[in-house]
Amino acid sequence: ALVANPEANMRQYGSVGWLFAVVSRIAEGAAAAEWELYRRLRNRDREEVLEHDFLTLWNRPNPFYTREELLETLTQHFALVGEMWIVVLRDTSGRPAELWPVRPDRIAPVPDAEEFIRGYVYKVGADKIPLRREDVISIIRPNPLDPYRGLGVVQTIIADIEGEKAASIWNRNFFTNGALPGGIIELPEGISDSDFEQMVLRWREQHQGVGNAHRVAIIERGKWVERRFSPRDMLLDKVRMGGRDVILGAFGFPRHMLGITEDVNRANADAAEVMFTRHIIRPLLRRIRANMNEELVKPTWGPQFELDFIDPTPEDREQERLDFDSKVNAVGTLVRSGYEPAAVLAALELPEIPHIGLPPVTVQPVGGPTPPPVTDAVEAAVVRAMAKQDPLLPDPLEQAERTMQEGWERRLRREADGIISHLGLTKGRRKVEASDVDGYNWDWWAKYGDDVVDELLRAFSLAFLTQEPDLGPSLAQRAAEEYARHRAGELLRLDGSMSMARQTRDRVRQLVSETIEQGESLQALARRLREDLAFSRSRADMIARTETATALGQGAKQAAIGQGRDQKRWVTQGDDRVEPECRANEAAGWISIKDPFPSGRDTIPQHPRCRCSVRYRTASLHGDAAPALEVKAEVRCPECNRIIAKNMRGTAELQCRHCKLKFMG
């Protein structure tokens, strides 16, 4: 029978290593989840709420806990006992002011025949504190034998856990005193108690302790019989591994998540990560979401508000791998059918094939002669080219841009919070002057310099090596470090030529001045700051795209210089969205790599979200004539500006896999 003993179950957490590792990983994973508050609209859509009393309470539930600490504590309780208990402390108006996690062994529901639960009693020593039902949030795993209490995993494997503890103690004693006697003294006949005590005392004096090690023993009237260990005594390690697997199995916990590398490969490691988040973390977050909404958020602030979490489950990489294999097979089939390899790769959104010295394959008209067979070398080259990029990961430059966007989003959000705090907009301050803005710490270089340099360095290095992979990473690293430090200084320092810190400071001054002139409240100023474009996701996205394009342009240029290229040419997308300056740059044709384009730029981008590219060549290899066949270095989506195809000949209908837009490229 299962015996519920919450305190005993929680004590196991600090006494068994495997249990500690599993519960800690689950608690940390649940605590790391990102949460958002939404407001339901009449059309059944919902909008995110960025500033709300509940968010303040949720992110700082009480003076001693952060949200992460609250959730980690609650998840520990749930993993060990199957119960989470939160006590809500309210202010004088009855609004929730603090949230406190309490130990499951100290709180008990008071059953009621009509209302199921009348209230709760919290016990501390001899004190019993009654709690109202609305002041307690309970989250339990249902127990089939007790509708008022939860069922914890530890409760179901308590015998195995005790066995693991006993095995651990036996193992320790084995190395300290052997856990069993090292030998036996046999006596031909019994001896008196006084003789026995005298023999024991003499043995201790002569043979116990480090100083008496290996001393020859002289035994009167007795015979020494050595006790040897059998192979069975040495199987303790397998016994302990069995206890480990019982604990992991009870929690449904994948071994690879604890760093156990037995039979691990990338496929099952990825599967373990998906299983951990999908079947352990996500159900926990759903329980918390449901109870917080039904017992706190909606009763207090209205049914239109709801708390939700960002799903932490990673993408299904196995499915991506299968899709990639399917594309590889499709490439071979289409190429053998006579289609041009470059067009096939562009249509399937795969990297371009390097030139392999074979004649181009042309498409034969219907009813014409059968296309010539293509050797396996073409398909092998396709696979080799695609193997250079991990198909399970996004395009490296796109990933670098995404990392930069996420970094700027965090930085701008932190700045908004810091400015609001500096101006005292949430502390009941009655008056703010525009001059107060200058007292804020605007030294973005000191705050964010290292992070921004790293992001720019990565983008530049990738652009450099994409343009000229044969130059090697060492040259790319040196060029990238020089570029990243100079560019980051321009962006972050107040005296930088493109200082975003200075632009943001000026915008905050303007918002403060407008608030004063219009006689609005400080709460309105705080709201305007949080919602302003200066601190928005749109600005973070624009910065990331512009800086990625700038790094791409500068990286490609430095790589071309390193390879001895001396001419460059501006290439547009050729559609009606191209800006006049970009058209003028393209019309200039091939110019010296040292000269600026007509717009004054030496490379891309010409403007934010510019979709153009720049090509490079060595003039002595081409003379004055342009290449006979023009190839678009890259084709970008007109809507989201993502790269759709590279080195594409001619035109074709393309579709962006991100925004699903179809267009002629």
pLDDT at 389 > cutoff 50: no
Higher pLDDT among residues 332 and 612, named by residue: 612
pLDDT at 211 > cutoff 50: yes
Distance CA 269, CA 254 (A): 9
The DSSP code sequence of 253-280 is --GGGGT--TT--HHHHHHHHHHHIIII
| Phi, psi (rounded to 5 degrees) for 228 | -100, 150
Secondary structure E strands in 113-190: 116-124, 127-132, 136-140, 142-143, 146-150, 183-186
User: Is-contact 102 10, C-beta < 8 A?
Assistant: no
Query: In the prediction, which pLDDT does 110 show?
Result: 93
Question: Of 59-63, 163-167, 359-363, which gets the smallest average pLDDT?
Answer: 359-363
Burial class (CB in 10 A: 0-12, 13-18, 19+), 542: middle
Please tell me whether residue 111 adopts helix, strand or coil conformation: strand
pLDDT at 70 > cutoff 60: yes
User: Is-contact 584 598, C-beta < 8 A?
Assistant: yes
Query: In the prediction, which pLDDT does 606 show?
Result: 84
**Residue 617 belongs to what H/E stretch?**
strand 613-617
Contacts of 644 (CB under 8 A, 6+ apart): 346, 349, 635, 636, 637, 654, 656, 665
Cis amide prior to 299 (ω within 30 degrees): no
Query: In the prediction, which pLDDT does 255 show?
Result: 72
Burial class (CB in 10 A: 0-12, 13-18, 19+), 495: exposed
- Average pLDDT, whole number, for the chain? 76
Q: Is the dihedral of CA 536, 542, 543, 548 positive or negative?
A: positive
pLDDT at 226 > cutoff 70: no
pLDDT at 74 > cutoff 90: yes
pLDDT at 186 > cutoff 90: no
